[in-house]
Amino acid sequence: MNQEQVSAEPMGELGRLGGVLFDPKPAFADIAARPVRWWVPLLLLGLIAAAFTAAFAERVGWERFFNQQWQQAAARDERLSRMSAEQKEQIIRQQATVTKWAAPAIAVVEFGVLALVLAGGFLFVFNILAGSQLTFRPVFAITSYSLLPYAVAMLLAMGLMFVQAPEEFDLVNPVMSNLGVFFDPVESPVVFALTKSLDVFTVWALLLLATGFSAAGRRLSWGKAMTWVVITWVLFVVGKVGWVALWT
C-alpha cells in the first residue's frame, strides 16, 4: 500500500464514485486502504443494467431483436430458412418471453460474477507472476469500482435507445464505441469479436485497474501495473476470439 496517498479522512461514497471516474488516484488509494464498500458499484451497475434491459423490452422489444437474429442466422443456415413461418414465430415468441423475465435478473448479478472472476484472475497474475503481495479484498474492491465506465456506457445506450427509432437501435453495439462498427458480426464474426474488444469504455476500465492496483501494491508502479493488466486483457481477448473462431 502506498501510504502517502491515503487521506486521513475516509472518502464518502459519492466522492468515491465520482473520484473513480474523474480523479481516480486519490479515490483508489482510499478504496485500497478501506475496501469495505465493494458492493456499492456492483449494486449500481446491476440496477442500471436491469433498468436497461427493462427499457429495451418496452422500447425495442425482444421479439424484434430475436427476429433480426433469426434473419441473420437463416442467411448462414439453410435449415432455418426452410422452417415455416409458424415454427419461426413460435420459437421467437418463446425466446422473447423467457428473455424478458430472465434478462433483468441476470443483469443484476452479472457484474458481481464478472468482478469475482476478474479479481481472482488479477490476484493470480499480480501475486504469482508479478511478485506483488496483494490480498483478495482490495483487489475485489478495485475491480468492482473499475467497472464503473460500463455504467456510463449503459446510460448513454439507454439515452440513444429513446432517441433512435426502435428498429434502428443496435443492442450488440449500442453506443458504437469500438472498432466493431466497421465489421459485420455475421459475415466476419472473428474480426468483429476482435475489434469489438477495442472499446473506449474497456480502455477506460483498464486504466482504472492499473491505477487501483498501483495504489494497493507495494513498490508497484503504475506502468508495471498497466503492463500486467494489459497482458491479462490480451489473453482474455485471444481466448474470446479463439472461442468465436471455434464455433463459426
Handedness of CA 187, 193, 197, 201 (dihedral sign): positive
> Where is 43: in which H helix or E strand?
helix 39-59
Look up the pTM and report it: 0.90
pLDDT given for residue 6 in this prediction? 54
Q: For position 9, what pLDDT does the model report? A: 79
Which residue in the block uniquely carries the three cell numbers 446491476? 46
Angular region, 57: left φ>0, alpha ψ -120 to 50, beta rest: alpha
Amino acid in the structure at residue 156: L
Tens digit of each residue's pLDDT (9 = 90 or more) over 115-129? 999 999 999 999 999
For the chain, which residues score pLDDT lower than 50? 3-4
How many CB atoms neighbour CB 231 within 10 A?
Answer: 13
**Any bridge partners for residue 199, and if so which?**
178
Q: What pLDDT is recorded for position 3? A: 46
